[in-house]
Amino acid sequence: MNKKKVTIKDVAKQAGLSITAVSQILNGNTRRFSQESIQKVWAAKKELNYVPDVYAQRMVTKKSHLIGVLVPDISNPFFAQLFLGIQDILNQQEYVALLYNMGADEQQEGHYVEDLIRRGVDGLIIASSAFSDQSIYQALQAQNLPMIVMDQKTETDLVDAVQTDNFDGGKQAALHLKTLGHRKVAVVLPQNATVNVRRRYEGFASVYPDAVVIDGELSTAGGQAATPAILATDVTAIFAINDLIAFGLYEGLKEAGKEIPVDYSVIGFDDIGPCQYVTPALTTIAQPTFTLGQAAAKMLLQRLHRPEQQAKEKILPVKLVQRFSTAPLK
């Protein structure tokens, strides 16, 4: 025989409070209730093993407690760590993150955003290039859907943004190589780089305006494919615009019989987990990735509670992590 499902009415009876009071307390609206009443409600919920009906709640609150998170490549450890930071904050506030992996298909990005709108998410955290598509932006605005963009701040100041100081990171990478005596350097990055990647290059170019620019996608394959172009130059040091490119350079240079850092110094950007385990351990610019995800989630929750506040931009610092892939020029 099936056991009767516990309802909010049962919790109210157990706590000795009205259904309205219990509903408000369970939904976090506790300001006008005493601590005693709040404790009674949570004690009753726990004792009765009450699980709220999210669909019923949504009918009342008009909120789904779902947040869409769009990333370009979840196989990149950077975005995996970023998502863990987002999830850490959302879980604390009883929100559920719906993760969508964008890939390189811009049309698919639009489909995913439309799907998230249909699912009734309360907001979006966009860490892909989708925000650059004005049609997507306009669709989100039409739905009055709060969003946080990460590293894609463009011409509009109407959207909250969280990012790291990419310009300073690129500059730190360049100053490190300059301190080691390198005069001829290369930087590997995609031709159609996103805003954050361009800022890294601009920071690097502020120190090395004549740096050789090599085309390379943001992947190990991209770094490996860029190796022949590197070998055709007389550079002694390479700035890989992300760590995955650096790992690809490791492989490509090894196949060419070159040794890091004896023949080439290599510096990356991100400080993903494998950096300390490759040989030699990679010198890189570390982003506070987990903290970055937390900051994005906090900012979105603030926007949900205070939709009238002005758009904000938060920039987190980066730092040089010196390991063994860079060395003084001999």
Residue 124 has pLDDT above 60, yes or no: yes
**Residue 300, burial from CB neighbour count under 10 angstroms (0-12, 13-18, 19+):** buried
**Per the structure block, which two tokens stand in for 158?**
């109407």
As for how many domains the chain has, the answer is 3
Q: Can you give the C-alpha Rg of the chain in angstroms?
A: 25
Residue 175: per-residue pLDDT: 98
Q: Which amino acid is at 88?
A: D
Is 159 in the same domain as 303?
A: yes
Q: Answer with the one of 61, 82, 99 that is the final residue of a domain.
A: 61
CA–CA dist 265, 282 (Å, integer): 10
Domain annotation covers residue 89 = yes
Residue 50 structural domain: 8-61
Is 101 in the same domain as 146?
A: yes
28-68 confidence digits (pLDDT tens):
777 788 999 999 999 998 888 887 665 555 555 567 789 99
230-242 confidence digits (pLDDT tens):
999 999 999 999 9
Is 208 in the same domain as 307?
A: no
Q: Which CATH number belongs to the domain containing residue 126 in this structure?
A: 3.40.50.2300
Is 172 in the same domain as 279?
A: yes
Domain annotation covers residue 327 = no
Is 91 in the same domain as 49?
A: no
CA–CA dist 43, 325 (Å, integer): 56
Residue 65: per-residue pLDDT: 85
Q: Are 132 and 139 in contact (CB under 8 A)?
A: no
CA–CA dist 160, 22 (Å, integer): 34
Give the number of other Cβ atoms within 10 Å of residue 39's Cβ. 12
pTM: 0.80
Is 170 in the same domain as 283?
A: yes
Is 249 in the same domain as 263?
A: yes
Q: Which amino acid is at 303?
A: R
Domain annotation covers residue 3 = no
CB contact set of 28 (below 8 Å; sequence gap of 6+): none
143-162 confidence digits (pLDDT tens):
778 888 886 655 455 678 89
Residue 207 has pLDDT above 50, yes or no: yes
The angle, 0 to 180 degrees and rounded to 10, between the axes of the packed helices 19-26 and 8-15 is 100
Q: What percent of the chain has pLDDT over 70?
A: 86
Is 133 in the same domain as 282?
A: no
In the block, residue with structure tokens 């130059």? 233
Q: Strand 319-321 to strand 283-286: parallel, antiparallel, or no bridges (unpaired)?
A: antiparallel
**Per the structure block, which two tokens stand in for 136?**
């997507």
Domain annotation covers residue 16 = yes
Is 85 in the same domain as 151?
A: yes
Is 132 in the same domain as 236?
A: no
Domain annotation covers residue 324 = no
Is 17 in the same domain as 93?
A: no
Which of 139, 208, 137 lies closest to 175 in space, CA to CA? Answer: 208
Domain annotation covers residue 228 = yes
Q: Which CATH number belongs to the domain containing residue 47 in this structure?
A: 1.10.260.40
Residue 209: per-residue pLDDT: 98
Domain annotation covers residue 261 = yes
Q: Give the Å distances, CA to CA, from 93 to 30, 40, 60, 75.
A: 14, 20, 18, 27
Laid out side by side, the sheet with 319-321 consists of 212-215, 185-189, 237-240, 265-270, 283-286, 319-321
Is 270 in the same domain as 294?
A: no
Domain annotation covers residue 328 = no
Residue 128: per-residue pLDDT: 72
